[in-house]
Structure 1
């Protein structure tokens, strides 16, 4: 096996679809590197495979896992549509797009508007947003009692900070793929007992998003989706899409909430963040842009 070989490491549940050619992003990625004269092999990821990977010739690609060595990269879907990133590190808030400066005036307004309305129609067909309920929406993620390194405060403390700064209803939703233990549910119930205008529920996020006044979250994808409905956001965690949001880690909590009074250029931002800075596996130029990204990351392709 020569240097121009790519080993792709995937979880078992996605590996079958990729081997069968049913996963569009990986099908086109494999085709792009093979067209450049590379060979490709697929592997199930896991501790043993990750331990052995640095000792294999060629290059490696993971999905939503940290790269294991200097010749490895990771990839991850960019929240919506067919948008993906291939990067040197797994933490989204360290990606180049997170560090870049968004300059709205440098973005083509007409192209941005076309992109914005087409994506909005695809994501939320027929939905008419409102904020008549004066509702703050908090899509929760995991580990509600922990204050992790990328967070300004723990998720439970985040809820209290929102309640302290918003006079209307505050509704939190549990993440459908997270497991919450008794202590976490007890903490949410205690907040409900202290603050009757706070409630939490399983499901209903996509019904709450069009009705809310703003989104508050650590870094949930629903905040980015909310931009398509012109819903402002306050982020309590580090994120790659912080640029037009209020960011507590970046701005401090009062300044972050102060940004809710601004009207950000959401169409230009989403076009810049997704179409210009991510890889769109639904576009004909995907292969060329992918190979350019791999070259920029140091791969000889």
Structure 2
């Protein structure tokens, strides 16, 4: 059998103890099923090198479609991972898979949902560090979670830019609207634009509160494709996406300001949040903490050796 290559950051190869548990478990657990080789990730010409190098290739934070490679990365919420033929997050193949709620076990879904909700909501944790203080916010008709279009992935996947999105919401919703800037957006221009909008729209409030306080206060969530959309599902809050996402199946996806405004006034009920969370994380992703991690990963890897 040809080798199984893991393309990883160089510092992990120098200090294996720094390697994330997902890779530690896979490289050790698959050693008796394949010849595991660790190589430093170099993205330049990677697709061509894969073609010229027999074997299967696992690409950390990859976005390459090749019959002998899979892309790996954390799927928004740890310990869940993508191991995907197309990419990770917005670019993963999950977005093209049909979600059939009727085929998901309801009882198992509720157990899974409540366990994840208890950890995330009960622990007030999120993908990015959040303020520990609890803040009581005004009840809002919508909460908008911003991202930076300077981030390559956001710029490639948006249907509406953030300012068009914000203005469309403010014009359509007359009750309070909350806007939370991205915690890693330190661009003073973002703050300046938000100040101008607050002067124009008196019902706009900009907040840096903990995501969980914002989600608790709002009726709906609007974002391009932020991971907060997944967290909104844990609160059973209707989600409107203004960009490409692989968790779009029970959200409203809009591509124009008018479609966004229509979605804001749409009656929403009966969305199968628990079944979806179980389907997305439990069935489509891999759990790095699960006893069956190696077996489930191998089920995806093994067929690629036949290509």
* 2-structure distance, mates of 1:263, 1:291: 36
* 2-structure distance, mates of 1:136, 1:17: 47
Aligned to 1:64: 61
Change (3 A) 1:288 1:220: same
Q: Which of 30, 33, 36 lines up with 1:36 in the alignment?
A: 33
Assess if the C-alpha contact under 8 Å between 1:137 and 1:212 holds in 2. yes
Change (3 A) 1:244 1:258: farther
Aligned to 1:166: 173
Q: Report the number of matched residues.
A: 295
* 2-structure distance, mates of 1:283, 1:50: 31
Aligned to 2:232: 226
Change (3 A) 1:64 1:11: farther
Report the Cα offset of residue 34 of structure 1: 1.3
Report the Cα offset of residue 11 of structure 1: 6.6
Aligned to 2:109: 112
Aligned to 2:127: none
Q: Which of 261, 285, 289 lines up with 1:282 in the alignment?
A: 289
Aligned to 2:249: 243
Change (3 A) 1:53 1:41: same
Aligned to 1:193: 199
Report the Cα offset of residue 194 of structure 1: 0.9
Assess if the C-alpha contact under 8 Å between 2:56 and 2:68 holds in 1. yes
* 2-structure distance, mates of 1:115, 1:232: 20
Assess if the C-alpha contact under 8 Å between 1:7 and 1:42 holds in 2. yes
TM-score (norm 2): 0.82
After the TM superposition, which residues 1-301 of structure 1 pair with which residues of structure 2 at under 5 Å, given as runs?
3-10=2-9, 12=11, 15=12, 19-20=16-17, 23-45=20-42, 47=44, 55-67=52-64, 71-90=68-87, 92-125=89-122, 133-143=139-149, 148-180=155-187, 182-249=188-255, 252-254=259-261, 256-259=263-266, 261-296=268-303, 298-300=304-306
Change (3 A) 1:81 1:18: farther
* 1-structure distance, mates of 2:246, 2:31: 30
TM-score (norm 1): 0.84
Change (3 A) 1:68 1:113: closer
Describe the SS at the equivalent of 2:31: helix
